[in-house]
Every structure is written in C-alpha cells, then in structure tokens.
Amino acid sequence: MFIAANWKMNLDKKSIKSFVEHLQRYKFSKNVQLCIFPPTIYIDFLSGLSQNIPISIGGQNCHHQPFGAFTGEVSAISLKEFGCDYVILGHSERRIYNKETNKSIKKSAQFGIDAKLKPIICVGENLDQRENGKALDFIEKQITDCLPEKFNDLIIAYEPIWSIGTGKIPHKTEIREMHKKIKEIIFSKSKKNVKVLYGGSVTEQNIQEILSVNNVDGVLVGGASLKIKDFLAIYGSAVKHL
Ligand code: PGA
C-alpha cells in the first residue's frame, strides 16, 4: 500500500518542522509506504529533518530535458541528488496551468527513470468527459501517450480532475472499472503490473471506502495531507484496512 502526500505550493519551514516532529513520534507500519512531495525548495529541508523516519521524498514535477536553459524548472537529476526517490508527473494542475502535454510528460518520465526516480504519472478525465461516457477512452489515450518506452517501477495515479479539491469522488464502481482498465492497458503494452493510486478529495472519512475497491493500491492525497492530524488519520485507516 502506498500513500502519497502532495503538499503542492503549501506549508513553510515552521509548519514542515512541526509536521515532522509529529511523524517522529508516530509508529509507522512496514506495509504502508509513505512518500511526501513538498514544494521543491523544501525538499532538502524535509530530507534533513526526516533522516530517522521511514518516509520517502519526491518531487512534484521534473522537466522534460535533463538540463539546459529552462529558467525556473527543476531536473530529474537535481531531484535525485537531493534525496528524492519519486517524482509526480502530469498532475492535472501542471497540465492545465503549465500546458504540459502527454508528449512532454513521457519525456519527463524517461529522464526521471534515467535519473533513478520512480515516476508517478497522473491521469484523469474532466467532468464533461465523465458525464458523456468518454472517461475510459480518454484515459486510455493519456496512458498510451505518456507511457515511457522502458520502465521497471512505475506508478499511475488516477485523479479525475472534477474530484480534485472539490469533495466529490467517483462511485466505487467507476473507480474499480478505471483502475482495472489502467492495469490492463499497461499490461498489454509492457507485460508489467503497475500500482494504481486513486487521487481526488481523499479524506479520513472516505479512505476506507476507497481502499476497499479492487485494484486500488494506495492514494494520492492533496488537501488532507497538509494537517498532520488529518493525514495521520488517513495513514492509520490505511494500516487498519490491510
Ligand atoms: P485533493 O488533491 O486531495 O486536495 O483533492 C489531490 C491531488 O491533486 O493530487
């Protein structure tokens, strides 16, 4: 089971320090892996504070070139050098606000893998696509176009855009159908089994229900990962669920 905490552009040094102090007192389970994705500038700070706790750290994105004249961007190599094991790619906020495309996400994934990072590639339909029965086809195209040529360890996060930060989540049957389809598509292309996380308005209240769905291998948590109490309640529920 894998839990990803995507802090997005939130928290500061003081709140990160306090978050980690709570984590230091917490008894983690070996069976529920936790990875935190802080804002890039705090990766080193978080890494320094969390040396003695069993968490991984990841980047929220990496560029689609390994280095070069790309002001304000971060490379996969730099993330690795500062202690990251994972990188989120193709989050819908980056697709929308930074105009990232499936093609650029695929390249970022390849450079991430070359730098020995494990990519978590995000896919997800918008409300219109969901309501018009086009979600499965849309996700199939996103996966087909984003999937790197070669990979060993790759995670997909299914994050319906209409669910992110809205408090709405798909019906259990919709999550089950989508996760099954994602695994089938990837297996047919690569003969590999990948983990598929669910993301979008995950809370302490709905985590049990989400984890009870077949083929859900974990969750990607945004808003509810910012407050230690809410987040540890989610983590604790995941441990109980096993
Ligand atoms: P949310 O965000 O949990 O706040 O809906 C999830 C995400 O964007 O990854």
Residue from 91, 97, 198, 220 to probe ligand 1 pocket by mutation (most atoms less than 8 Å from CB): 220
pLDDT computed for residue 242 by the predictor: 87
Closest CA to 32 of 50, 8, 56: 56
Longest CA–CA span in the chain (Å) reads 49
Cβ–Cβ contacts within 10 Å for residue 128, how many? 11
Residue type, 160: P
Instruction: Specify the DSSP class assigned to residue 117.
Output: P
Question: From atom 6 of ligand 1, which residue's Cα is the shortest distance away?
Answer: 222
Q: Is 202 in the pocket of ligand 1 (CB under 6 A)?
A: yes
Cβ–Cβ contacts within 10 Å for residue 25, how many? 7
pLDDT computed for residue 119 by the predictor: 98
| CA–CA distance, 128 with 227 (Å, rounded to integer) | 32
Q: Which atom from ligand 1 is nearest to the alpha carbon of 200?
A: 5
Residue pLDDT, tens place only, 49-66: 999 999 999 999 999 999
- All residues at 6 or more sequence positions from 174 whose CB lies less than 8 Å from its CB, including other chains: 130, 135
Closest CA to 32 of 7, 5, 6: 5
Could you confirm whether 184 is annotated as catalytic?
no
Assessment of whether the complete model's pTM goes beyond 0.95: yes
Residue pLDDT, tens place only, 91-109: 999 999 999 999 999 999 9
Catalytic residue, candidates 63, 64, 91, 179: 91
